[in-house]
């Protein structure tokens, strides 16, 4: 049963009871939009490993550790144009001392000493793309999801494109891991990586609504959607 809520049964009652000047309020809102947009991009990417935190502030990447009294500037800055997607700035992933930072323009930087020094590793990537969606670790393997597909790194140097059985790259809306097993959510449903062939294997039907998130707990999958709640399905893995 669908429940519909109403604030008040009388038209314009909000204005009479609160004395709100609607045109003036709308004008103030329009004038405030530039300030709101500026504040919105003040802080960007954010990630942590253990108690070490990495956060973007005004397009610069900072690090904080317990016991420190101030944020440490890592020396990495992103002056690229604002992205048109949800991610506002750096796309970040960290595992122990290894940190990956993807910039707005598709450049990828890696640090092996918790952000003290950085190397540009963009030229080593498996294919070209416009922007990063997500970067994550699954044990020692790194995954990068982009607008042109997903790639992974096993040995620290060589990136490999992940394709389907027909050698086509699939653009994933979300990627996630459960232990060392990795999954991707696309318009065609949930896919699992076959590590023997480094290919996507579909394990669920397509989701009827636009998906915004993916989580896995054992053999239970949860898919968040825009305005249509959360879907759950069970799959016998392996």
pTM given for the model: 0.76
Number of separate domains in the chain: 1
Residue 79 belongs to a domain with what CATH number? 2.20.25
CA dihedral 216, 221, 225, 229 (to 10 degrees): -110
Which residues does 4 contact at the CB level (< 8 Å), separation at least 6?
none
In a domain? residue 104: yes
In a domain? residue 235: no
In a domain? residue 77: yes
Q: Band of the pLDDT at 53, cuts 50, 70, 90?
A: very high
What is the domain range of residue 49?
27-124
In a domain? residue 9: no
Strand partners, 234: 220
pLDDT in the model for residue 201: 93
A 10 A CB-CB count for 135 gives 23
pLDDT in the model for residue 211: 80
Q: What is the pLDDT of residues 200-236, one digit of tens each?
A: 999 888 877 778 888 888 888 888 888 778 888 887 6
In a domain? residue 15: no
Q: Is 28 helix (H, G, I), strand (E, B) or coil?
A: helix
A 10 A CB-CB count for 235 gives 15
Q: Band of the pLDDT at 5, cuts 50, 70, 90?
A: very low
In a domain? residue 113: yes
């Amino acid at each position: 049963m669908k429940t519909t809520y109403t604030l008040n049964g009388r038209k314009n009652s909000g204005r009479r009871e609160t004395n709100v000047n609607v045109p003036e309020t709308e004008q103030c809102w329009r004038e405030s939009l530039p300030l709101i947009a500026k504040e919105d991009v003040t802080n960007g990417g954010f990630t942590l490993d253990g108690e070490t935190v990495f956060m973007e502030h005004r397009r610069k990447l900072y690090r904080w550790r317990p016991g420190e009294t101030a944020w440490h500037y890592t020396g990495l800055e992103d002056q690229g144009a604002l992205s048109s997607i949800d991610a506002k700035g750096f796309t970040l992933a960290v595992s122990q001392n290894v940190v990956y930072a993807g910039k707005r323009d598709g450049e990828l930087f890696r640090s092996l000493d918790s952000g003290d020094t950085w190397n540009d590793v963009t030229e080593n990537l498996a294919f070209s793309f416009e922007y990063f969606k997500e970067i994550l670790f699954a044990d020692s393997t790194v995954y990068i999801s982009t607008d042109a597909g997903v790639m992974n790194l096993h040995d620290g140097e060589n990136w490999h494109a992940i394709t389907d059985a027909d050698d086509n790259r699939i653009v994933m809306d979300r990627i996630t891991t459960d232990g060392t097993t990795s999954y991707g959510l696309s318009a065609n449903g949930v896919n699992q990586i076959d590590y023997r062939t480094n290919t996507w294997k579909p394990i669920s039907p397509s989701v009827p609504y636009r998906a915004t998130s993916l989580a896995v707990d054992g053999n239970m999958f949860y898919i968040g959607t825009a305005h249509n709640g959360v879907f759950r399905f069970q799959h016998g893995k392996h």
